[in-house]
Structure 1
């Protein structure tokens, strides 16, 4: 059994400026984002974490470094956790009320070069397959909103439209308990903390402080 704790990066300058970006080296964490990452590290100190994996994108990597400092673990960069490739939308600003994703799903908007939901789900599934084992361990994976939504929707047997209401806030915890790569129980989605109820479900290899 493997527990996979997905964490969305902390608040970044792109979040504040409402900029869409998959760039690797742009848009660092804000002061608020740094504090969020520190709080996430404190939450994770309740659990014995074996490894931390992270998207190479700066805002995620910074989040993973801060969490890793709290836990004494250096993060491992994994390209499969990267931000959704945004095609022609990269580095454009957006209006939250405009719902460009919904327009795209309804075929009212075509986005050239946008990574498909299926491709994003495939790489996140591949990540799960590579880390799940029988050793009762816990890993952390720092990623982004859409990739985390994609893997949650997959295990809930939802497509992009059906999973539209899934929300992954900054520095939140989405926790999967996996017996194997095809059998994962979702214990939390976008939670601000790791609750006592979730901790009680995390079995023998998880140490509660």
Structure 2
């Protein structure tokens, strides 16, 4: 059975500063670093000892630092892939969230949503965002490794999961799989039917110890 453990990075500086994340290269906060330790310990406990593990991560600092903590505990080097980044918000990246809120044009309830222009210069469309995450997933899943870890962002998690269940990109305009920062989502594929399951979405139980610390 193949298992993918999909991590959404924990608290980063853009969360506490109230600025737009996206491709803005924020760092983990001290609380985020503690959460990364907790994520690493949780994954060590979930993955059978001695099992081969592959680790993939977005190349932004908040995700790569999380992946470094996981990799150090599991003895595996992260493969950094910019295709696993969060959505690019173009010129809004790093600006106050309220700056983006004033300019953002939400997608229509009915009609074209994947190629919708959100009104921010340089921002990716949903279609562009989805295509790169899907491409990264295609490459990751070509490996026969049965235990894989992906460290990504809360928004990009939607397209990781959509790709996993083979949702066509053109059908993903309404898709939204929400998971908290620092969570672990578990995806499984059985060896007989090759059905793909979302076995757990956005688990944060491992963060209790990090918050206590």
Q: TM-score, length-normalised on structure 2?
A: 0.75
Equivalenced residue count is 187
In the TM superposition, what is the alpha-carbon distance from 1:153 to its structure 2 partner?
4.1
1:86 matched to 2:86? The reply is: no
Per-residue deviation, residues 38-70 of structure 1 (Å, max 9, x unmatched): 111111012046111111100001111111112
Alignment partners' CA distance in 1, 2:202 and 2:57? 17
Q: TM-score, length-normalised on structure 1?
A: 0.76
Alignment partners' CA distance in 2, 1:15 and 1:121? 23
Alignment partners' CA distance in 1, 2:198 and 2:102? 27
Show the 5 A alignment for 1:40-119.
Answer: 40-46=39-45, 47=47, 48=51, 50-95=53-98, 103-106=105-108, 110-119=119-128
Does structure 2 conserve the Cα–Cα contact (< 8 Å) formed by 1:104 and 1:111?
no
In the TM superposition, what is the alpha-carbon distance from 1:179 to its structure 2 partner?
6.0
What SS does the corresponding residue of 1:145 show, helix, strand or coil?
coil
Does structure 2 conserve the Cα–Cα contact (< 8 Å) formed by 1:2 and 1:133?
no
Does structure 1 conserve the Cα–Cα contact (< 8 Å) formed by 2:118 and 2:125?
no
CA RMSD of aligned residues (A): 2.9
> Which moved further from structure 2: 27-36 or 81-90?
81-90
Question: For structure 2, which runs of at least 5 residues remain unmatched after alignment?
Answer: 109-115, 207-213
> What is the aligned counterpart of 2:183 among 160, 166, 172?
172
Structure showing the higher strand proportion among its residues: 1
Does structure 2 conserve the Cα–Cα contact (< 8 Å) formed by 1:38 and 1:66?
yes
Question: For structure 1, which runs of at least 5 residues remain unmatched after alignment?
Answer: 195-209
In the TM superposition, what is the alpha-carbon distance from 1:193 to its structure 2 partner?
4.2
1:12 alignment partner in structure 2: 12
